Each structure stands twice: as structure tokens, then as C-alpha cells.
Structure 1
């Protein structure tokens, strides 16, 4: 009986260690994914030099958002582009901003987030992994999309 009790205690201890290791691994993966998302956000920003170039960038940005969102646009004016908030979780919401800079230029940034991606205090939500993949793909593809369609100068 003592051997069974000892074996049960060892099994519980190993299970607890395994569970803690899995949680640590999940947390490391979350932090790496979050870093990748932060990098993709920074990289999904482009500066344009004058009104003509900025208008072309902005038009392409609207097209890119429309092509990559399953939701309809709810706003598309000179300063912001926004998609509707999806009804279910796990689906991205996209927006873009155009902020004027000196000399007639602007900075255009593409933003994305999913419903269900985060919980309170920016903790990992149930749809984080799936959402991160979708967002990374779209944000990392934004600048190459623009470069492929804008005249080189």
C-alpha cells in the first residue's frame, strides 16, 4: 500500500511539473508571438513624400484592406479606413490611418486585431494563436504590396 501511495505521489508530482513546463512553454510562445505582432505593426507603416504619392498609397491601402478583410468597410475617408467589427471571435478587424507630415507628406499605418485575441490586462485570449497568424500575414504583406504597385522613385 505504501508503494502505491508513493507511486501516486510521484505521478502527481511529475504531472504538476509537466503542467508547469507546458504553461511556461505557452507563455514563451505567447511572448514571441506578441513580439512578432509588435514588429509587424511597426513594419506596417509607410511614409509618403507628397500629396500625389500619398493619394496613391492611400488608395492602395483601401484596396489592400478590402482584399484582406472578410468584413465590409465602415469608414473610408481622407484620414481613416476601418472595417466592421466581426460578430464572432477569431476574425481580424482592420484599420488604417493617414497622418499628415510637414511638406505635404504623410505617414500611413495599417492596424489589425481580432476579437477574442486578448483577455483582460492584455492576457492571451482563446483565439490568440489563430489571430496572430492572420494578422502577421496581412501586416507583413502590406509594405511589399505597396512597393509592388507604386512607381519607384
Structure 2
């Protein structure tokens, strides 16, 4: 591809505007006292069935905390201790820290995907690559950082 054509394609893509990913994670940074209960909010407006919460700690890859395959289900992941979730509708999947402690200081990620019978080639909206064996695409937010003092 010639440099001129490549520049034209890039310019046209930039003019198209940002793709609306439809994922909101709130707050983006939170400091919590030890023993305090807090909720990390996660909302998506793409009508995805499956929603996920992950945490990433220094020296570890992504570890799934909880996931939901649809309303009202939720299943524990690799590190569910000290957390709870609820799924009362398709759009929301809040993560509650029951009683914050220093071991929960982490970077938290949320993700959503369509559910299929085979769980293959799913649309996966997030800011993290390659988690849960699904084809990733970039969402519109960064990680949430929570510090427990």
C-alpha cells in the first residue's frame, strides 16, 4: 500500500469518529479504608449476556473474580473470596468488596461478551488482551485501580 493511500485511509478512519464500546466502569480510582464495604459499578449497553470481573496483581496475570452468563446467574471465578456480585438486569454487574483489606489492593477490569452455545469467536469488549479464550476488542475505558488502606 502506498504511503499516500495509507494516509488517506487513516484520515478517513479518524473522521469516522470513535467507536462506541458501551462499557462503563465507575469509579476509575478508589481508595478504601480497611474494613469498609464498597461497590465497583460496571454497566454495558450492548445487551451482552455474559459479564466478567477480573483483577490483576503485581506478578500475576488476569484472575477472574466472578462472571455471569446471564440474568440472574453468577459464578465464582479463581479469586472470589471477599467479594460478592449481583445481576438483576442485563446491563449491570456490580462487584462488592464485603470488607476491604490490603490484599484486595489491585487493578480491576470488567468485560462483556455475547453468549453462544460453543463460546467460540465471541465479541469481547474490554481493555485487556486475551482473557478467557475469546477474541478481544478494545473498549472505551481503562482499568479501575482500588487501594485498600
Q: Same fold (TM over 0.5)?
A: no
Kindly indicate which of the two structures has a greater share of residues assigned to helix. 1
User: Which structure exhibits the higher relative contact order, with contacts defined as CA atoms closer than 8 Å and separated by 6 or more residues?
Assistant: 2
TM-score by length of 1: 0.29
Structure of larger gyration radius:
1
Kindly indicate which of the two structures has a greater share of residues assigned to strand. 2
TM-score by length of 2: 0.29
